[in-house]
Amino acid sequence: MKAKEYLYMMQKILHHIDEGVHVLDKNGNTIIYNDAMSKLEKMETKEVIRKPFGEVFKSLNNESSTLLKALSSRVTTTDLKQTYLNKDGKEITTINTTLPIVVNDEVIAVIEVAKNITKMAEMSHTILKLQNEIVKPEKTKTKRIRKYNFHNIIGDSNNFINVIERAKKASKNSASVFIFGETGTGKELIAQSIHYESSRKDKPFIAQNCAALPESLLEGLLFGTSKGGFTGAVDRAGLFEQANGGTLLLDEINSMPYELQAKLLRVLQENYIRRIGGTADIPIDVRIVTTSNEPTELILKYGKIRKDLFYRLNVIQLNIPPLRDRKEDIMMLANMFIHKFNERLNKEILSISKEAEDSLMKYDFPGNVRELENIIMASISMSDDNERILNMNHLSLLNNFKDDDIITPEIEEDGIDEYLAKLEKHLIEKTLKEYDHNITRTAKTLKIKRQTLQHKMKKYNI
Ligand SMILES: Nc1ncnc2c1ncn2[C@@H]1O[C@H](COP(=O)(O)OP(=O)(O)OP(=O)(O)O)[C@@H](O)[C@H]1O
Ligand SMILES: [Mg+2]
């Protein structure tokens, strides 16, 4: 294909794609400005083309324009969400990627590709608004929340008590707390206890899960929205404002979108927020508690949390040990849960059988305290009204699990071949005894041939 034809084809492509494309040459003059970009920014192509970028977009400078940044410092920006007003004063949200084209170590052009996601952003906010009107999520959530304090926390093991001591110290100040623990270890319990023990106790405690919502919804929920910011926007306070003076628990911070993490960082640095689409800076005083069920090394290693944000959040770190690493607490918690569910389910269980206790102590509780609580609740609900002792039959959930767990200490010691041989010998002896050494009936019961049975009896010296 000739260069001229090629150019013509490229132009056609550029003008028919949905993404906005804006290209500057090395002197900062616009050489490509396609239809999609022109629609997005409400600028005529002729107002922009062959003109110096700085002259056309007067409000932008080297810092605020990704194109100029790419030109002057070769900075590549990938998938940056930008919200700005176009020439008609309409708020536009785009996802931009900007990169320099470098040939022989010289920047010959810079390219910006912009995807218009205004509709999507508006839609998210509409959903948020509707959701807010229908279910009022934050409000129901705050009401539903049980007020826990340190008296509700059970545990006697050293590693757990250490954590609780540190948590109690944390309640004396307002420093950010980062709580790590597997699921069901009591992160929320500890976060609430810190709040209700602190001087903020008469102000709200609000919890929000960062993994539950897409970025734009979460952003609106946290920072609030302002009327006129976008179609259908209403004046609505975000969780930061609602929690003012109190504590905001951000659960699963490792799942918070990266872009939003930058905004959160700014709030923590500056102590004020700005509602989406709003202009006023609203001062806030909120203690932040964050949780993660992934270890900090991993979330830092895989970049799930910005380092600068992490250092702000991790002023006090609490690592709650999993239940299997504090076995002393198992029976203490079990007894507390027995008491709790006796009352709730109208039963009178007094204790746990030795066998049931042993299996609880052996179990490794992947779901931690919450799983123990569920096991006890299910067991109690299965007991009869006149029963006083929880036994293995009641511990149904554990039983289910144990069926799968065939790696016994014997297998670990003997290896599988020897273990199976022992098992086989044992079964043959047992069945022979049952049928009074009748070979035919024993073979039939074990579903093997008479000769095979005799062969095995010889092998095992029976
Ligand atoms: N040490 C404890 N003493 C008494 N109850 C506890 C303790 N630890 C956890 N629990 C109970 O276990 C359940 C789970 O606790 P919580 O919701 O705080 O866990 P979590 O770590 O936030 O879990 P997830 O990661 O799944 O959100 C709750 O009912 C809580 O009351
Ligand atoms: Mg939780």
- Per DSSP, the residues of 331-343 read HHHHHHHHHHHHH
Q: Which residue has the higher pLDDT, 408 or 350?
A: 350
pLDDT at 423 over 90: no
Tell me the C-alpha to C-alpha distance, in Å, between residue 112 and each of 27, 57, 71, 246, 390: 16, 14, 11, 43, 68
C-alpha 184 to ligand 2 mean position (Å): 7
pLDDT at 122 over 90: no
Tell me the C-alpha to C-alpha distance, in Å, between residue 426 and each of 114, 151, 236, 422: 74, 53, 73, 6
Band (195; pLDDT cuts 50, 70, 90):
very high
pLDDT of residue 233: 65
Please spell the DSSP secondary structure of 43-88, one letter per residue.
Answer: --HHHHTTSBHHHHSTT--TTT-HHHHHHHH---EEEEEEEEE-TT
Average pLDDT over residues 429-455: 90
User: Could you give the count of Cα atoms lying within 13 Å of 130 in the half-sphere of its Cβ?
Assistant: 6
In this predicted model, what pLDDT tens digit does every residue of 278-289 receive, in sequence order? 889 999 999 999
Average pLDDT over residues 184-202: 96
Q: Is 408 helix (H, G, I), strand (E, B) or coil?
A: coil
Mutation pick for ligand 1 pocket among 153, 159, 178, 189 (CB with most ligand atoms within 8 Å): 189
Tell me the C-alpha to C-alpha distance, in Å, between residue 257 and each of 211, 227, 269, 382, 456: 9, 25, 19, 44, 64
Cβ(186) – ligand 1 distance below 6 Å: yes
Q: Are 219 and 83 in contact (CB under 8 A)?
A: no
In this predicted model, what pLDDT tens digit does every residue of 200-216 receive, in sequence order? 999 999 999 998 778 88
In this predicted model, what pLDDT tens digit does every residue of 298-328 receive, in sequence order? 999 888 999 999 999 999 999 999 999 999 9
Q: Which residue has the higher pLDDT, 320 or 7?
A: 320
Residue with CA nearest ligand 1 atom 24: 183
Give me 354's structure tokens.
């030795």
pLDDT of residue 263: 92
- Which of 110, 64, 78, 43 lies closest to 34 in space, CA to CA? 43
- Which of 392, 397, 363 lies closest to 377 in space, CA to CA? 397
Q: Give the CA diameter of the chain.
A: 105
Look up the pTM and report it.
0.63
Q: Are 52 and 28 in contact (CB under 8 A)?
A: yes
Q: Which ligand is in closest contact with the Cα of 188?
A: 1
Average pLDDT over residues 42-50: 90
Average pLDDT over residues 390-410: 61
Q: Which residue has the higher pLDDT, 411 or 221?
A: 221
Contacts for 13 with CB less than 8 Å, ≥ 6 apart = none
Mean pLDDT, the chain, rounded, equals 86
pLDDT at 145 over 80: no
**Alpha-carbon torsion 56, 57, 62, 68, what sign?**
negative
Cβ(183) – ligand 1 distance below 6 Å: yes
Give me 108's structure tokens.
């010959």
pLDDT at 397 over 70: no
Average pLDDT over residues 354-359: 92
Average pLDDT over residues 244-251: 96
Band (404; pLDDT cuts 50, 70, 90):
very low
Give me 238's structure tokens.
């975000």
C-alpha 188 to ligand 2 mean position (Å): 5
Highest mean pLDDT among 116-125, 226-235, 288-297, 377-386: 288-297
Q: Are 367 and 183 in contact (CB under 8 A)?
A: yes
C-alpha 350 to ligand 1 mean position (Å): 24
C-alpha 369 to ligand 1 mean position (Å): 6
pLDDT of residue 129: 65
Average pLDDT over residues 154-171: 97
| Distance, CA of 79 to CA of 92 (rounded, Å) | 15
C-alpha 49 to ligand 2 mean position (Å): 54
- Among the atoms of ligand 1, which is closest to the Cα of residue 183? 25
In this predicted model, what pLDDT tens digit does every residue of 61-116 receive, in sequence order? 887 788 999 999 998 988 887 777 777 777 778 888 999 999 999 999 999 999 88
Q: Which residues of 351-387 are buried (b: 16+ CB within 10 A; e: fewer)?
A: ebeeebbebbeebebebbbebbbebbbebbeebeeeb
* Chain Cα centroid distance, residue 35: 40
Of all residues in the chain, the percent with pLDDT exceeding 90 is 53
Average pLDDT over residues 210-233: 79
114: β partners? 20, 96
Of all residues in the chain, the percent with pLDDT exceeding 70 is 89
- Amino acid, res. 224: G
